[in-house]
Structure 1
């Protein structure tokens, strides 16, 4: 027997964090995605145990400024693509610079230095993953998906989709439909 699951990783991470913070008796406040404000002092042994407990779920604590900024950048991009009805109408470089209080040039250079990839490439990958999810859900047309993800046209979405996955969105839809029909 196979189970097919659909899940929201952001929600799952929030629930795990809430459960672990309560388990360790930590007074906290969940801030933006990937950020928790601890109220008061956190004893070293409790922090070590919390770190180990979170590591079990693939959640790591980030301790240096550069890595923290990179993780915040990724979190903002993921939040922007997955949790917003539509991507912001301002350009993404301005949006990131405003949210992170750093120049886009600094953020972009640091991102490339640490991840060996560009912010633009990370955004494309996330947008295509979101497009795949929306296609699988089957609630929107390709035109609606391209609009939600701020593509100038379905053709632009299709070109990036094919370049990233090797398939056109229509081919991907057919594969998903064929799999659903054989169940």
Structure 2
């Protein structure tokens, strides 16, 4: 038996943070996604314990302001790609400027300075990761996936997919289908 699971990354991380901060008896409040304000002075021992707990989940505390803003850019873009409404076709530049309260030029320059890639490339990578997930975990056609990811056409999706992964989405579908059939014959 196989099931497919969809999860809300934001809710997942927030739940972990809530549980672990409560376990450590630290008074806090969530400001935004990825932002916590401690409402009391926290001992170095509790902070160290909190850091160790977070690392178990692949979460780390960020202290450099530039890195913090770049992480907010990444989180916002991932949220934009993975939780986009099919009818909401807003440009990433407008989305980021409105969400983070900075000019797109500033955000793009900072992102490139810290990550050595552009926001546009990051968005493409996220869209292709989502396309791979949809191909692997759903029965959507490439047309439906292209529409969901707001590509102008299947050809546009296919071009970006091949440029990013080295194979076409159709080839990727065949590989996934072959793996499934091999797995089913072994069971």
TM-score, length of structure 1 as denominator length: 0.88
Instruction: Give the aligned partner of residue 90 of structure 1.
Output: 90
Say how many residue pairs are matched.
180
Alpha-carbon distance, 1:157 to partner: 0.2
Unaligned runs of 5+ in 2: none
- Matches of 1:25 and 1:44, distance apart in 2: 11
Alpha-carbon distance, 1:36 to partner: 3.0
- Matches of 1:181 and 1:30, distance apart in 2: 46
- Matches of 1:133 and 1:141, distance apart in 2: 13
Instruction: Give the aligned partner of residue 168 of structure 1.
Output: 168
Instruction: Give the aligned partner of residue 72 of structure 2.
Output: 72
Alpha-carbon distance, 1:150 to partner: 1.2
Change (3 A) 1:5 1:16: farther
Name whichever of 105-114 and 6-15 sits farther off.
6-15
Name whichever of 8-17 and 122-131 sits farther off.
8-17
Alpha-carbon distance, 1:12 to partner: 4.0
Alpha-carbon distance, 1:30 to partner: 4.0
- Equivalence map 1:14-29=2 (5 Å): 14-29=14-29
Task: State yes or no: 1:61 paired with 2:61.
Answer: yes
Q: Answer whether contact 1:162 1:168 (CA < 8 A) is retained.
A: yes
Change (3 A) 1:4 1:138: closer
Q: Answer whether contact 2:97 2:104 (CA < 8 A) is retained.
A: yes
- Matches of 2:18 and 2:4, distance apart in 1: 22
Instruction: Give the aligned partner of residue 133 of structure 1.
Output: 133
Alpha-carbon distance, 1:64 to partner: 2.1
- Matches of 1:32 and 1:182, distance apart in 2: 45
TM-score, length of structure 2 as denominator length: 0.86
CA RMSD of aligned residues (A): 2.2
What does the per-residue CA deviation read over 1:126-146, in whole Å, with 9 as the maximum and x for residues that have no partner? 000000000111232111111
Change (3 A) 1:77 1:48: same
Change (3 A) 1:74 1:88: farther
Alpha-carbon distance, 1:95 to partner: 0.8
Alpha-carbon distance, 1:49 to partner: 2.0
- Equivalence map 1:32-43=2 (5 Å): 32-38=32-38, 40-43=39-42
